[in-house]
Amino acid sequence: MIDTQPDISLSRYAEVLRKGSVIAFPTETVYGLGADAWNADAVARIFELKGRPPDNPLIVHVNSIDMAGTLAAEISEDARRLMERFWPGPLALILPKRPEVLDIVTAGLPTVAIRMPDHPIPLRLIEEAGPIAAPSANTSGRPSPTRTEHVRQDFGSEVPIIEGGSCQYGLESTVLDLSIRPYTILRPGHITQSELEQELRQPVRLISTHSVKLTGMSGDAPRSPGMKYTHYAPDARVRWMQPDELPWPDPTTHGTLYLMHRIRPDDTLHTERRPGKSRQSENRQIIQYRENYSEMGRDLYDRFRMADLKRFSEIAIEPFSDSDEAVEALLNRIRKAIGD
């Protein structure tokens, strides 16, 4: 069931949540698969639908700092400062939880991840139905959904979907752990390390995709979604392009989607090489972003899913430097898809 009416009534979807069912809804990051955060059976349905491991905690979505206070045992001065600066927005904060917060939501951890989405649809739903526990609305391990069609691909008609168009950012929220010091970014997103440090006036640690493997997380419940398990991966093999494929892929290659990002000297000769535009043949496609990494991030999961629909065998991505923190989230998702 997909609602595409412009005069959509969110009250009936809020009632679906209150009755213990699951719905899919848009946010500014990706589409979420939500349930009443106080209903253990409803939250269990999320795990069942996604095939999600039970030790992978969920993020609870709220519409105010006061509502966050019904979940967190304490909202510190630092937490409140970040909430006032970045909420609503793509920042989830991990805080010590109140005893009544369900263990199924937090994977039994003493902390809970909370965020306030910057999108009118979930904010209205939360206003009527209360806090919503919601991971991304995809089957576990698949690319996150940034359009209604993506949710439909994974769940068919099994989940009611609120239509909200394409997501603004296309990559999941930044997750910052405030429960221990030093404060640590467990998942990079649109809100960057330097923005957080500037607001907090103190250093913030960033756990990279590589360093997660060294933290002992493999045997423990991860403190944040996206840390322990393979994520964001299409059926097509994702890999970095090799030196012999640069500066431009061999035109005889087949079955490959190429994602390119650098501006090349001959770009002026090819007016079609604008951000997000492509050159393609029947079973080969090249998409050139010309250093527009925001556009590449918004497109990434959509391109992954498109490659599967077109039955490409692999997706080759031009390597790029992580010296600019603005690409940290994009690199994180690519590395997770590669299994790097």
pLDDT grade for 221, boundaries at 50, 70 and 90? low
pLDDT of 54 reads 94
For the sheet with 256-260, list strands across it: 237-240, 314-317, 256-260, 284-288, 277-281
Give yes or no for residue 226 having a pLDDT over 60. Answer: no
Please tell me the distance from the alpha carbon of residue 202 to that of residue 245, in angstroms, as a whole number.
43
Give yes or no for residue 208 having a pLDDT over 90. Answer: no
pLDDT grade for 207, boundaries at 50, 70 and 90? confident
For 80, the enclosing helix (H) or strand (E) is: helix 77-86
Give yes or no for residue 18 having a pLDDT over 90. Answer: yes
Percent of the chain with pLDDT over 90: 76
**Which of 179, 128, 137, 178 is closest to 161 using CA atoms?**
137
Domains 2-219 and 237-338 share a fold: no
pLDDT tens digits, one per residue of 92-122: 999 999 999 999 999 999 999 999 999 999 9
Please tell me the distance from the alpha carbon of residue 107 to that of residue 57, in angstroms, as a whole number.
5
pLDDT of 247 reads 85
Name, in order, each residue with C-beta under 8 angstroms of 158's C-beta and a sequence gap of 6 or more. 49
Please tell me the distance from the alpha carbon of residue 10 to that of residue 59, in angstroms, as a whole number.
21
pLDDT of 322 reads 78
pLDDT of 6 reads 37
Q: Which amino acid is at 146?
A: T
Query: Mean pLDDT over all residues of the chain?
Result: 88
Three state DSSP letters for 22-37: CEEECCCCCCEEEEEC
List the helix and strand counts (H, then E) for the chain: 11, 16
pLDDT of 229 reads 54
Q: What is the arithmetic mean of pLDDT over 159-185?
A: 97
Please tell me the distance from the alpha carbon of residue 60 to that of residue 50, in angstroms, as a whole number.
17
Please tell me the distance from the alpha carbon of residue 246 to that of residue 289, in angstroms, as a whole number.
15
Question: Within a 13 Å sphere around the CA of 281, how many CA atoms are in the beta-carbon half?
Answer: 10
pLDDT of 276 reads 61
pLDDT grade for 230, boundaries at 50, 70 and 90? low
pLDDT of 273 reads 43
Q: How buried is residue 193: exposed, middle or buried, by Cβ count under 10 Å (0-12/13-18/19+)?
A: middle
pLDDT tens digits, one per residue of 175-204: 999 999 999 999 999 999 999 999 999 999
Give yes or no for residue 1 having a pLDDT over 70. Answer: no
Q: Are strands 256-260 and 314-317 parallel, antiparallel or unpaired?
A: parallel
Q: Are 152 and 173 in contact (CB under 8 A)?
A: no
pLDDT grade for 219, boundaries at 50, 70 and 90? very low
Q: How buried is residue 250: exposed, middle or buried, by Cβ count under 10 Å (0-12/13-18/19+)?
A: exposed
pLDDT tens digits, one per residue of 140-149: 999 999 999 9
In this prediction the pTM is 0.90
pLDDT tens digits, one per residue of 231-264: 689 999 999 999 988 888 887 888 999 999 887 6
Q: Give whole-number Cα distances, 34 to 45, 114, 125, 267, in Å.
A: 10, 14, 10, 44
pLDDT of 7 reads 41
pLDDT tens digits, one per residue of 269-320: 343 444 566 555 567 899 999 889 999 999 999 999 999 999 999 999 999 8
Is the CATH number 3.90.870.10 carried by domain 2-219? Answer: yes
> So where are the chain's domains?
2-219, 237-338
**What CATH number belongs to 237-338?**
3.40.50
**Which of 88, 33, 100, 97 is closest to 63 using CA atoms?**
88
Give yes or no for residue 8 having a pLDDT over 70. Answer: no
Percent of the chain with pLDDT over 70: 85
